[in-house]
Amino acid sequence: MSALVGTMRSLKFSRELVLLGVLIALIVVMTLLDPLFLTPITMLNTSRFFVEVGLMALGMTLIIITGGIDLSVGSNLALVSVAVGFSFAAGLPLPLAILFGLVVGVAAGLFNGLFITLLNVHPLVVTLGTLALFQGLAYGISKAQAVSDFPGWFAYFGQAYLGPIPGQLFIFVMAVAVVWVILSRTSFGRYVYAIGNNEEAARFSGVPIRKVKLALYSGIGLLVGMAAVIYTSRVYTARGDSGVGLELDVISAVVLGGASIYGGSGTIGGTVLGVLIIATLRNGLILAGVPSTWQLFVLGVLLLAAVFVNEFFRKGEE
């Protein structure tokens, strides 16, 4: 038993080392193509873009560990963005509007969670439905228009710098720390792994499965809300088409980071490295002058490659 645990530990450890190696290699390649890449300014600027995906990926990691998935995060972001912008435009003071947006995000996540736990419907189809539903609500409520006249201080969420470091990076680092503690140091975290490894056994062991899942889907809703506020602040506009397609980046980051899509394994460290790799790739490709038409293709293939390597060899070890 301890040998198994020992193997598992060294498994996780070496996987993250490899990811770190890949990240460094990528940075080297990008820098060779465009020497500007390695300047601190550029690196820090890159970090401004990945915070939103990163926050969502933190929540997605836990969900994927339990064997679930949430395809609706991108649309949820759009909905929160619209909620913030349009409630503000309708007269709500901005701080309350932001709070309202966060509430909407959590409510949307809870909506997913209820469908999944009470009705026992597979998360895949529920979140496929809510992907369309939230997107449609975002478009419909905003009537395809945008809100841009926010007061100056709103920009702090997405555009502020503390010294040379972008403000949202601090938020991200704190979120990483919190989620990491939850996952690896609390009983809640153990429950998450237990559900992912064998849900039936977990149920018999007394794990409060329903509550855990509800917490997970609402939790990612909160993270989506935070990401939405940062995103809206960064582009300074609330629109119904924000965040569309982000679920690809989020899921790719988690899977790249080593989580098994079938559940039972995954770490916050791996996910963070996954987020960094994708952000480096995206930003680096653009800086190197690669046309954006290639990015779609590259990212699609990357997702497939990452999961392939993940699953093909993992299964081989069983």
User: Can you tell me the distance from the alpha carbon of 98 to that of 291, in angstroms, rounded to the nearest whole number?
Assistant: 36
11 binds other proteins (CB under 8 A): yes
Among residues 71, 74, 37, 79, the alpha carbon closest in space to that of 52 is found at 74
- Closer to other proteins by CB, 22 or 173: give it: 22
Place of tokens 């899942």: 213
- Candidates 95, 96, 140, 170: give the one binding other proteins (CB under 8 A): 140
Q: Which structure tokens are listed for 63?
A: 């969900």
Q: Which listed residue (38, 96, 124, 177) binds other proteins by CB under 8 A?
A: 124
Q: Which of residues 143-182 bind other proteins (CB under 8 A)?
A: 143-146, 148-149, 155, 159
92 near other proteins (CB under 8 A): no
φ/ψ of 218, rounded to 5, equals -70, -35
User: According to CB under 8 A, which residues from 206 to 235 bind other proteins?
Assistant: 231, 234-235
Position 139 contacts other proteins (CB under 8 A) = yes
Is residue 271 close enough to count as binding other proteins by CB under 8 A? no
**From the list 203, 208, 210, 241, which residue makes contact with other proteins (rule: CB under 8 A)?**
241
Per CB under 8 A, contacts with other proteins among 15-34 are: 15, 18, 21-22, 25-26, 29, 33-34
Q: For the chain, count helices (H), then strands (E).
A: 13, 2
Can residue 129 be called a binding residue for other proteins (CB under 8 A)? yes
CB of 56 to other proteins, least distance (A): 15
User: Please, what is the minimum distance in Å from the beta carbon of residue 176 to other proteins?
Assistant: 22
State which of residues 38, 96, 177, 305 lies at the interface with other proteins (CB under 8 A).
305
Q: Could you tell me the smallest distance in angstroms from the CB atom of residue 310 to other proteins?
A: 8
CA nearest to 122, candidates 61, 41, 173, 67: 67
> CA-CA distances (angstroms) from residue 315 to 130, 290, 307, 310, 312?
32, 36, 12, 9, 6
In this structure, the dihedral spanned by the alpha carbons of residues 12, 271, 21 and 286, taken in order and rounded to 10 degrees, is: 160
- Give residues 96-115 in contact with other proteins (rule: CB under 8 A): 115
Q: Which is nearer to other proteins, 191 or 217 (CB)?
A: 217
The per-residue b/e assignment along 195-229, b for 16 or more CB within 10 angstroms, e otherwise, is: bbeebeebeeeebebeebbbbbbbbbbbbbbbbbb
Cβ distance to other proteins smaller for residue 189 or 243 = 243
Number of shown-chain residues binding other proteins (CB under 8 A): 101
- Judged by beta carbon, residue 27 or residue 176, the one nearer other proteins is 27
Which of the stretches 40-48, 95-103, 190-198, 216-224 binds other proteins when contact is defined by CB under 8 A? Answer: 40-48
Q: Could you give the count of Cα atoms lying within 13 Å of 30 in the half-sphere of its Cβ? A: 25
Q: Is 69 in the site for other proteins (CB under 8 A)?
A: yes
CB of 182 to other proteins, least distance (A): 26
| Least distance (Å) between residue 222 CB and other proteins | 21
38 binds other proteins (CB under 8 A): no
Q: What does the alpha-carbon distance between residue 18 and residue 184 come to, in Å, rounded to a whole number? A: 21
Q: C-alpha angle with apex 212: 207 to 216, nearest 5 degrees?
A: 155
- Of the pair 103, 288, the CB lying nearest other proteins is at 288
Contacts of 9 (CB under 8 A, 6+ apart): none
